[in-house]
Amino acid sequence: MKRVRWLNARWPVSMRTLGAKMKTQLFTPESFDGFVIERIRDSSIEAHFIEKLTYQETMTDPFGREEVIDRVSYRDVDFTLFADFPNIEIRNSQRSTKEFVNKLLELCNFSLTVTPVSVNLLDWITAIQGQIQEKLLVDSLQISGLELEEGVSAKVLLKGDRDVREALQHLSVRKKFTLEKVQVKMSMGHQTVPVHLANSGSVKIPVDYFNDLVPILRNTLPSPPA
């Protein structure tokens, strides 16, 4: 499975201007961080942000002698920036993207605003179904904050061999809850493909269907209220 996450951003400059600024901080063999740019358009930028990490590791041989070895590793954030929502797409990166976001802030003279995406998952599923024109099966979902009684709430995982949305309706009638995650199964040719959606605007997609499904999921992501 490969992971994609989307974020909101309010760009203070155009994509072309931001791309020109990225070109001044390209990653080189001597760099500790920088960008590898694939494509700059009026509406988007496709690139990687790479960090070079150096550290020392102490190894002990069978005789108890210690040796300090210099190590080098690289952290790669594969991303696309869009002029319109969803503004930042991060693909299969490490969970921490703090340095990447900080670099964007620096390029925008700290006048950039980046915020998490909050998604109504049921609306997203409806939009996906409308675009692919195939019936989707939600065979598992996770909710939290389900009010059982005053002062008592539960976190619940529903799983089934049929669509569990109807069961959710029965379970949560007249009760508050937060729908956090769902697993959707959709037809791609002759295959049934599981896709995980989270209300934080992130997805997990099987590797073989990654390129086919990312544009669909991106285009159907419900935009935030104006």
> How far apart (Å, rounded) are the C-alpha atoms in residues 224 and 226?
6
104, 16: one domain? yes
Q: Which helix (H) or strand (E) holds 202?
A: strand 202-205
103, 185: one domain? no
Is 175 part of any domain? yes
The DSSP line for 86-101 is S-EEEES--S--HHHH
96, 191: one domain? no
Single residue among 97, 116, 135 that ends a domain in this structure: 116
Phi and psi at residue 121, to the nearest 5°: -65, -35
> How far apart (Å, rounded) are the C-alpha atoms in residues 18 and 104?
9
46, 96: one domain? yes
137, 41: one domain? no
12, 112: one domain? yes
> How far apart (Å, rounded) are the C-alpha atoms in residues 9 and 87?
6
Q: What is the pLDDT of residue 224?
A: 78
206, 146: one domain? yes
Is 149 part of any domain? yes
Is 225 part of any domain? no
109, 23: one domain? yes
92, 169: one domain? no
Single residue among 48, 81, 116 that ends a domain in this structure: 116
Measure Cα distances from 149 to 145, 146, 158, 221 in Å.
11, 9, 20, 33
Phi and psi at residue 132, to the nearest 5°: -85, -15
The b/e string for 196-226 (b: 16+ C-beta within 10 A; e otherwise) is: bbbbebbbbbeeebbeebbeebbebbbeeee
Query: In the numeric block, which tokens belong to residue 65?
Result: 């002698």
Q: What is the pLDDT of residue 149?
A: 81
Domain that holds residue 11: 2-116
Residue 221 DSSP one-character state: S
110, 7: one domain? yes
130-151 confidence digits (pLDDT tens): 998 878 899 999 999 998 888 8
Q: What is the pLDDT of residue 171?
A: 85
Q: Which residues of the chain have pLDDT under 70?
A: 93-95, 225-226
44 near 80, Cβ under 8 Å?
yes
Q: What is the pLDDT of residue 169?
A: 87
Q: pTM here?
A: 0.89
Q: What is the pLDDT of residue 52?
A: 92
Is 226 part of any domain? no
Q: How many domains does the chain have?
A: 2
Task: Note the helical H segments in 116-164.
Answer: 121-132
Single residue among 83, 101, 116 that ends a domain in this structure: 116
Q: Please give the sequence-ordered ranges of beta strands (E in DSSP) within 11-151, or none if there are none.
A: 33-40, 44-60, 66-82, 88-91, 113-116, 137-149
84-119 confidence digits (pLDDT tens): 999 999 997 666 788 999 999 999 999 999 999 999
139 near 162, Cβ under 8 Å?
yes
159, 99: one domain? no
178, 158: one domain? yes
